[in-house]
A and B are shown apart, each in its own frame.
Chain A
Amino acid sequence: MSASSAPAQQNKSRIPFYRDTRVLAVLIQVVFAVFVVVFFVWLFGNMFGNLDTLGITDFQQPFFRVEQVNDRTSISPWFRFLYSSAGFDILDTPISYTRQDPYLRALTVGIVNTIRVGVIGIILSTLLGVLTGVARLSSNWLLSKIALAYIEVIRNTPLLVQLFFWYFAGLLALPRLRTGEEITAIILPGPVYMTNRGIAMPWIRGTPTTGQWAMFVIAAIALAWLVSYIVKRQEIKRQRSLRRTMWTFATFFLVAAAGWYLMPVQPLRIEQPAVAETGFGFVGGLTVMPQLTALILGLVLYTGAFIAEIVRAGIQAVPKGQTEAARALGLRSGQMLRLIVLPQALRIIIPPMTSQYLNLVKNSSLATAVAYPELFQISGTILNQTGRAVQIIIIVMLSYLAFSLVISAFLNWYNKRVQLVER
Chain B
Amino acid sequence: MTSTVSAMQRRDDRPPFEFGYWLQTNVLSLGKIITLLLLIALNIWIIGAGMQANPLTTTAVIMLWSVFGGLIAYNMVRHNHVHGTLREVKVRIYTSLHGALVSLFLLVVLGLALYAFVRYVTFWPRWEAIVVNFRLLMVGRYPRALTWRPVAAALFVAALGVASLLTWGPVSRRLFRYRKVMIGLWLASPIILGIILYGVGAAYDAPDAGPLGTVNTRLWGGLMLTLIISVVAIVVSFPLGVSLALGRQSHYPVVKYFCIGYIELIRGVPLITVLFMAEFMLPLFLPGGLTVDSLIRVTVGFTLFSAAYLAENVRGGLQAVPRGQYEAAYAVGLNTYQTTRRIILPQALRAVIPAIVGQFIGLFKDTSLVAIIGVFDLLSIGRAVLGQQEYRSRQAEIYLFVGLIYFVGASGMSYASRRLETRLGVGER
**Which residues of A are at the interface with B, using a C-beta cutoff of 8 A?**
25, 28-29, 32-33, 36, 43-44, 46-47, 49-51, 53, 139-143, 146, 152-153, 155-162, 164-165, 168-169, 172-173, 362-363, 365-366, 368-369, 376, 389-390, 393, 396-397, 400-401, 404-405
Q: Are A156 and B411 in contact (CB under 8 A)?
A: yes
Q: Please give the distance in Å from B216's CB to the nearest CB on chain A.
A: 24
Query: Which of B284-292, B326-334, B344-352 binds A?
Result: B284-292
Chain B contacts for A49, CB-based, 8 A: 287-288
Q: Are A28 and B288 in contact (CB under 8 A)?
A: no
Q: Are A146 and B106 in contact (CB under 8 A)?
A: yes
Q: Are B99 and A140 in contact (CB under 8 A)?
A: yes
CB nearest neighbor in A for B287: A46
Cβ of B368 under 8 Å from chain A: yes
Q: Are B270 and A46 in contact (CB under 8 A)?
A: no
Query: Roughly how many angstroms separate A164 CA and B95 CA in the complex, as a whole number?
Result: 39
Chain A contacts for B251, CB-based, 8 A: 25
The 7 closest A-B pairs by CB, nearest first: A141-B92, A169-B396, A156-B410, A362-B270, A158-B365, A169-B395, A29-B254
Chain A contacts for B273, CB-based, 8 A: 365, 376, 393, 396-397, 400
Query: Roughly how many angstroms separate A40 CA and B400 CA in the complex, as a whole number?
Result: 44
CB nearest neighbor in B for A36: B258
4 more contacts with CB within 8 A, not counting A50-B284, A366-B369, are: A44-B285, A49-B288, A160-B368, A400-B270
Q: Are A32 and B110 in contact (CB under 8 A)?
A: no
Q: Quick one: which of A25, A46, A157, A390 has the most chain B CB within 10 A?
A: A157
Q: Please give the distance in Å from B327's CB to the nearest CB on chain A.
A: 15
Q: Are A161 and B368 in contact (CB under 8 A)?
A: yes
Cβ of B205 under 8 Å from chain A: no
Q: Please give the distance in Å from B196's CB to the nearest CB on chain A.
A: 26
Query: Roughly how many angstroms separate A66 CA and B395 CA in the complex, as a whole number?
Result: 51
Chain A contacts for B280, CB-based, 8 A: 389
Q: Chain B 363-396, CB within 8 Å of chain A: the 1/0 string?
A: 0011111011000000100010010000000011
Chain A contacts for B110, CB-based, 8 A: 142, 146
22 A-B interface contacts by CB (under 8 A)? A32-B252, A139-B95, A140-B95, A140-B102, A142-B107, A143-B103, A146-B110, A155-B410, A156-B406, A156-B407, A156-B410, A156-B414, A160-B369, A161-B402, A164-B379, A168-B395, A365-B272, A366-B270, A369-B371, A393-B273, A397-B265, A404-B269
Chain A contacts for B107, CB-based, 8 A: 142
**Which residues of B are at the interface with A, using a C-beta cutoff of 8 A?**
92-93, 95, 99, 102-103, 106-107, 110, 251-255, 258, 265, 267-273, 276-277, 280-281, 283-288, 361, 365-369, 371-372, 379, 383, 386, 395-396, 399-400, 402-403, 406-407, 410-411, 414
Q: Quick one: which of A47, A155, A405 has the most chain B CB within 10 A?
A: A155
Q: Are A162 and B103 in contact (CB under 8 A)?
A: no
Q: Are B281 and A390 in contact (CB under 8 A)?
A: yes
Q: A46 with B272: in contact, given A156-B407, A158-B368 (CB under 8 Å)?
A: no
CB nearest neighbor in A for B361: A156
CB nearest neighbor in B for A149: B110
Q: A168 with B399: in contact, given A43-B285, A141-B92 (CB under 8 Å)?
A: yes
Chain A contacts for B361, CB-based, 8 A: 156
Q: Quick one: which of B95, B273, B277, B406 has the most chain A CB within 10 A?
A: B273
Query: Roughly how many angstroms separate A43 CA and B288 CA in the complex, as a whole number?
Result: 11
Chain A contacts for B102, CB-based, 8 A: 140, 142-143
CB nearest neighbor in B for A362: B270
User: Among A143, A366, A393, which residue has its beta carbon within 8 angstroms of that of B281?
Assistant: A393
Q: Are A389 and B281 in contact (CB under 8 A)?
A: yes
Q: Are B258 and A376 in contact (CB under 8 A)?
A: no
Q: Are A389 and B403 in contact (CB under 8 A)?
A: no
Q: Are B396 and A173 in contact (CB under 8 A)?
A: yes
Chain B contacts for A401, CB-based, 8 A: 265, 268-269
Q: A165 with B271: in contact, given A49-B288, A140-B95, A152-B411 (CB under 8 Å)?
A: no
CB nearest neighbor in B for A33: B254
User: Among B288, B372, B400, which residue has its beta carbon within 8 angstroms of that of A165?
Assistant: B400
Q: Are B395 and A142 in contact (CB under 8 A)?
A: no
Chain B contacts for A172, CB-based, 8 A: 395
Q: Please give the distance in Å from B232's CB to the nearest CB on chain A.
A: 18
Query: Roughly how many angstroms separate A139 CA and B103 CA in the complex, as a whole number?
Result: 11
Q: Please give the distance in Å from B309's CB to the nearest CB on chain A.
A: 10
Q: Are A161 and B284 in contact (CB under 8 A)?
A: no
Chain B contacts for A46, CB-based, 8 A: 284-288
Chain A contacts for B395, CB-based, 8 A: 164-165, 168-169, 172-173
Q: Please give the distance in Å from A312's CB to the nearest CB on chain B.
A: 15
Q: Are B272 and A376 in contact (CB under 8 A)?
A: yes
Q: Are A157 and B403 in contact (CB under 8 A)?
A: yes
Chain B contacts for A47, CB-based, 8 A: 284-285
Q: Please give the distance in Å from A103's CB to the nearest CB on chain B.
A: 18
Q: Are B399 and A165 in contact (CB under 8 A)?
A: yes
Chain B contacts for A159, CB-based, 8 A: 365
Query: Roughly how many angstroms separate A390 CA and B280 CA in the complex, as a whole number?
Result: 10
Chain B contacts for A51, CB-based, 8 A: 284
Chain B contacts for A156, CB-based, 8 A: 361, 365, 406-407, 410-411, 414
Chain A contacts for B270, CB-based, 8 A: 362-363, 365-366, 376, 400
Q: Are B379 and A160 in contact (CB under 8 A)?
A: yes
Query: Roughly how many angstroms separate A196 CA and B403 CA in the complex, as a whole number?
Result: 23
Q: Quick one: which of A25, A161, A362, A365 has the most chain B CB within 10 A?
A: A161
Chain B contacts for A140, CB-based, 8 A: 92-93, 95, 99, 102-103
Query: Roughly how many angstroms separate A108 CA and B25 CA in the complex, as a whole number?
Result: 66
User: Among B99, B255, B372, which residue has its beta carbon within 8 angstroms of that of A32?
Assistant: B255
User: Among B269, B365, B402, which residue has its beta carbon within 8 angstroms of that of A362?
Assistant: B269
Q: Please give the distance in Å from B413's CB to the nearest CB on chain A.
A: 9
Q: Please give the distance in Å from B395's CB to the nearest CB on chain A.
A: 4
Q: Are B277 and A29 in contact (CB under 8 A)?
A: no
Chain A contacts for B399, CB-based, 8 A: 161, 164-165, 168-169
CB nearest neighbor in B for A48: B284
Query: Roughly how many angstroms separate A162 CA and B396 CA in the complex, as a whole number?
Result: 10
Q: A393 with B284: in contact, given A25-B251, A156-B411, A161-B406 (CB under 8 Å)?
A: no
Q: Are A405 and B268 in contact (CB under 8 A)?
A: yes
Query: Roughly how many angstroms separate A368 CA and B270 CA in the complex, as a whole number?
Result: 12
User: Among A143, A146, A162, which residue has its beta carbon within 8 angstroms of that of B403?
Assistant: A162
Chain B contacts for A160, CB-based, 8 A: 368-369, 371-372, 379
Query: Roughly how many angstroms separate A393 CA and B280 CA in the complex, as a whole number?
Result: 10
Q: Are A157 and B99 in contact (CB under 8 A)?
A: no
Q: Are A142 and B369 in contact (CB under 8 A)?
A: no
Chain B contacts for A36, CB-based, 8 A: 258
Query: Roughly how many angstroms separate A297 CA and B253 CA in the complex, as a whole number?
Result: 45
Query: Roughly how many angstroms separate A393 CA and B275 CA in the complex, as a whole number?
Result: 11
Q: Are A161 and B403 in contact (CB under 8 A)?
A: yes
Query: Roughly how many angstroms separate A158 CA and B268 CA in the complex, as a whole number?
Result: 20
Chain A contacts for B368, CB-based, 8 A: 158, 160-161
